[in-house]
Amino acid sequence: MRNIKLIIEYDGTRYQGWQRLGDSDKTIQGKLEKIVSQLTGETIELIGSGRTDAGTHARGQVANFKTNCNKSLEEMHHFFLTYLPKDIVVTSIDEVPERFHARYNAVSKQYSYYVRHAELPSAFNRNYHFYVAEPLDWEAMTEACLRLTGTHDFLGFSALKKSKKSTVRTIESIEMEKEEAMIRFVFRGDGFLYKMVRIMMGTILAVGKGEMTVNQIDDIFQAKIRQAAGETVPAQGLFLDGVFYEKN
């Protein structure tokens, strides 16, 4: 039994997220599993590093599958490039040890969220950023990013109703980069809860607009109530940049 690791990039605009649903053609996992099953002649279950929401994009999603197929990696890669839709691309394929698991072995992830901060929206890149016209206080947003880093219970910054599992996560860093009208917010941490990045992003923007204070972030951690945090910003501005694993 071989264990095959894929790194995948995709434009999530026309998909209902990563996770396979009843209509598999509308999810990234469903599309990939269909093609991998055709490639191998087997019923394949693809293991992803984690879910991405409907409309979210990825530059470095990681997945693995197990197969008895004896085709070479080059043949497999060519098959993916030929038969996958153009908005899903396998950028890397490797054979890895049998125990490798794309989700359980991940130690950290990085996401980017893009905000267009300008007088006018863009007609061309509207599927890849969130448009904000209001003034933003850069120093206040910087302080908000610092308050959100570290180890906390992020239940109040998630769309989870409740969870039997721990909602404590460690955010290593949140960085802001500005180039002309575009602001890129880079989130890196050991894991992210359901819609957590989008809610943190909405909270940072609320602080930047003066709708919330930085001190309210501490209150949200204490209260653990979703309604106390900022809005859930749209998914189209969110990209999964990469998933990181311990080096053997």
pLDDT in tens, 73-88: 999 999 999 999 999 9
Residue 13 CA: distances (Å) to CA of 18, 28, 153, 165, 182: 12, 11, 31, 30, 20
Under a CB-based contact definition with an 8 Å cutoff, are residues 153 and 191 in contact? no
Active site residues: 53
- pTM of the complete model: 0.95
What value does the mean pLDDT take over residues 142-154?
A: 98
Give the three-state DSSP class for 188.
strand
Angle 154-155-159 (CA atoms, 0-180°, nearest 5)? 115
pLDDT tens digit sequence for 151-162: 999 999 999 987
Q: How far apart are CA 186 and CA 175, in angstroms?
A: 5
Residue 145 CA: distances (Å) to CA of 120, 152, 200: 26, 13, 9
Q: How far apart are CA 128 and CA 152, in angstroms?
A: 29
String of DSSP letters for 55-124: T-EEEEEEEEEEE-----HHHHHHHHHHHS-TTEEEEEEEEE-TT--TTTTEEEEEEEEEEEESSS--SS
Check residue 24 and give its pLDDT: 65
pLDDT tens digit sequence for 21-46: 876 679 999 999 999 999 999 999 99
pLDDT tens digit sequence for 169-181: 999 999 999 999 9
Give the three-state DSSP class for 211.
coil
- Residue 197, phi-psi category: left (phi > 0), alpha (psi -120 to 50), beta (remainder): alpha
Going along the chain, which residue ranges are E strands?
A: 2-10, 47-48, 57-67, 88-96, 106-117, 130-132, 150-153, 168-179, 182-189, 238-245
